[in-house]
Amino acid sequence: MCKAAAAKSISDCQHGTVVRLSDLTQTHYDMTNQEHLVQDLHDILKSYYKVARKRIVDTLCMQAAAYHLVSGPDTPLRLFSPGLISGLSGEQLEEIAGEEVLMKRRRAQLLKELEDLETGRRILS
């Protein structure tokens, strides 16, 4: 609590220390240049701290996920060894890593359209 508000505070056993809202709105804060500079630096450092804290949490989450899912000793990717992959049939590989049916249709449609456009260009040339 600031000094001016503390001077106008009311001590009440039931609610603790209370300050009237009108007393807070009427308070004028005169700060020296040094106090203003300190307040600005405090605000800047507080903002930086918030951003840095969020970034550290994000980085820790990404590193934990990468370790447990990609690069750790017990990752699910260890199941897909070169020997296992080379022993799979084409249908099994398609099921595991294949393209979606809608994407295949769209690709075929675009290739047909490209072929038709090339044919039309040759006819017009």
Cα angle at 30 between 11 and 47, to 5 degrees? 85
**pLDDT at residue 27 tops 70:** no
Tell me which residue of 67, 89, 63, 87 sits closest to 78, measured CA to CA: 67
- Tens of pLDDT, residue by residue over 45-57, are 999 999 999 999 9
Phi and psi torsions of 46, nearest 5° = -65, -40
Name the band, by pLDDT with cuts 50, 70 and 90, for residue 41: very high
Q: Give the pTM.
A: 0.42
Asked if residues 28 and 51 have their Cβ atoms less than 8 Å apart, the reply is: no
| pLDDT band (50, 70, 90) for residue 70 | confident
